[in-house]
Amino acid sequence: MGKKEREEREQERESFYEKRQKEQFKYKAIGLAVLGGIVAVLAISSYNFYELSTHVVPQGMPQGAGPLGKVDVHAGLLTMIFGQQFDYSSLAYQIKSKYIDFEKDNGETVHMHAANVTLGFLFNSLHIGITDKCFTFPDKRNFCTDDKYSLKFFIDHHQVQDISNYVIKDNDRILISYGNENSTEIAAQLSKVDSFSLAP
């Protein structure tokens, strides 16, 4: 084998190793980028969960509320979105205000611990927006009345326009329903909230 051929083979070998190293570096860089993205998503998710799970908002005394601990009123509340029950029993919605809350891992009973505290205050403490037209989840998903679907409110089987300023009475049964349900389906939802055994 001549000197020239040896040099050409040496160059080919070096070229092969350089190419292989570049490819390995590229794959490592892609892997690190993907790992960095996963870590970032997990960090953001953890922060959002912490914010939702640990902060009590709004703070302070609700406007017009009576002294804390002077009443102990319970009402059943059912929220149905497209026929699916919204779960208030998760940690994110438990005891977010000392004036009105869901507690004891129960997502069906609203507890009011001071007079004249509205449902609007309860939902605000849960980071849930509620108006006569829209129900807004903490992640900003909106369920608003439009030409296909409607947001409906019932208190003890009576349909009302809005519940934001409503102050619960003992053993009230409240239904929030979003969708295009017929009267039979609404009746089934009302029957469901009637069946709730209110937590003490």
The separation between CA 125 and the C-alpha centre of its own chain, rounded to angstroms, equals 12
pTM above 0.75, yes or no: no
Average pLDDT on 123-131 reads 96
Domains assigned to the chain: 73-194 (2.170.130.30)
Tell me, what's the pLDDT at 174? 98
**Closest by CA position to 173, among listed 74, 76, 73, 102:** 76
Chain-wide mean pLDDT for the chain?
84
